[in-house]
Amino acid sequence: MFFITDGDRPEAWVSMSSANDWQRWLLRNIPHSLNDQIRARLVSNLKHILVGLELKKALVLPHAQRENDYSGVLFEPYFQSLIFEFCVGAYSVVESLGASHWLDSNGEDGTERNRIRRELWRPALLTVYDRDGEYQLERNVLRIENVRDKMHQDGVGARNEIDWHTMGFDTAFVPANQAIETLLRRAQEALPRATNLSLPRE
């Protein structure tokens, strides 16, 4: 059995950061040129999504990395559900940050309430977080988008590619996790003191 706890316990994940611990990093990554209310709303939304990603990763990893002779941590459908939810949360983060940087680079503050399409926010995200393609952020973001879109059921009769089993560790979780790690390389000094989402600080 695997426990989620706020104290010491074998085989347990202990919460390391709170939503408020993410505010400093988010304030360093959401452009100051945005409208103050919009910026505050983004911080509020994303800090809760990031804490949720921490929990999902803490449950996904021990199941995926268990030894062959060790029983699974999660019931398999929960494992796939958590991977899907991790991808959806990661998509929210990359979309929000990409859109905010597109607004900034185009002299807008977000009050126009226009929808910013993927083909606009994705290049803005890459320019800020992986300009030279060193961390393959574009590939990973495209994979996150694919996972998110694959589960839209409105065209189920016409779409052969909808397959819950594609929500695997290597095909879905790893790209989403790598995308988040790439974002967290920027302003690392502002990250929460302890989080399982980031790489060890260099």
Residue 13 covered by a domain: no
Residue 7 covered by a domain: no
**Token representation of residue 67:** 């030894």
Are 96 and 21 in contact by the 8 Å Cβ rule? The answer is: no
pLDDT of 1 reads: 42
**Poorest-confidence range of 48-52, 99-103, 135-139, 154-158?**
154-158
Q: How many domains does the chain have?
A: 1
Q: What is the mean pLDDT of the chain?
A: 85
Model confidence pLDDT, tens digit, residues 62-102: 778 776 655 666 777 788 888 999 999 999 999 999 999 99
Residue 124 covered by a domain: yes
**Token representation of residue 36:** 């103050």
Region 21-42: mean pLDDT is: 97
Written as one letter, the residue type at 147 is: V
Residue 15 covered by a domain: no
Residue 5 covered by a domain: no
Residue 2 covered by a domain: no
**Token representation of residue 22:** 């993410």
CA distance readout (Å), 32 to 12, 96, 108, 110: 39, 14, 11, 11
- Give percent of the chain with pLDDT exceeding 90: 59
pLDDT of 58 reads: 86
Give residue 41's pLDDT band: very low, low, confident or very high (50, 70, 90). very high
Are 100 and 31 in contact by the 8 Å Cβ rule? The answer is: yes
User: With 0-12 CB in 10 A as exposed, 13-18 as middle and 19+ as buried, what is 50?
Assistant: buried
Are 195 and 16 in contact by the 8 Å Cβ rule? The answer is: yes
Model confidence pLDDT, tens digit, residues 142-189: 999 988 877 655 555 555 555 666 678 999 999 999 999 999 999 999
Domain limits for position 116:
20-152+161-190
Give residue 119's pLDDT band: very low, low, confident or very high (50, 70, 90). very high
Residue 72 covered by a domain: yes
Report DSSP state, residue 25. Answer: H
Residue 25 covered by a domain: yes
